[in-house]
Amino acid sequence: MTEKNETACSKARMSLLFAVIVGLCVLLDQWTKRLALQHLPLETARSFLPGLVELIRIENHGAAFGMLQGQMIFFYGITAAICLFVVYVLYRLPEKKRYMPLVINLAFLIGGALGNLCDRVMRGSVVDFFSFIPISFPVFNVADIFVTCAAAVFILLFCFYYKEEEFSFLK
């Protein structure tokens, strides 16, 4: 195998892993939302983890905390911009195993974003159903968990794993 073929194979593996994770995230998110639609009456709470989490299905026409209600074009644009930026990063990404945590994290971010986009396109709203009882927190779904966890992991990766010069490929 030539060096060029090894490079292409490595990029292909990274792309395949990215695509598989994104697909699994979207499938899991959509499956859980289908279960919520089938088994949870609208706005009726059911205990899930007593004192910690309850299940309550709501239809969210905005973002977290009820912001930007009904602004679908804005959400489509933001999702498209994020997806385009991630594709750009993946295209420019050096083919080193060191960047695999970044690829995996980007996949969870995009999987979550696309899961909620599917709802917005198909239903005109996002199905949320997890409610965290101990604090007043917005009702959320599996896609929101993927996006939130990816954001937290990004902070950890950028603060403790990667060095600033390792992102010079984006310049």
- Dist. CA 10–CA 120, nearest whole Å: 35
Q: Is 144 designated active site? A: yes
The answer to whether residue 128 is catalytic is yes
Three-class DSSP category at 162? coil
Among candidate residues 144, 145, 146, 150, the one labeled active-site is: 144
Query: What is the secondary structure of 83-151 as a DSSP string?
Result: HHHHHHHHHH--S-GGGHHHHHHHHHHHHHHHHHHHHHHHHSSEEEEEEETTTT---B-HHHHHHHHHH
Element (H, E) at 48: strand 46-49
Catalytic residue among 18, 25, 117, 128: 128
Structure tokens, 160: 């403790």
- For the annotated catalytic residues, the residue numbers are 128, 144
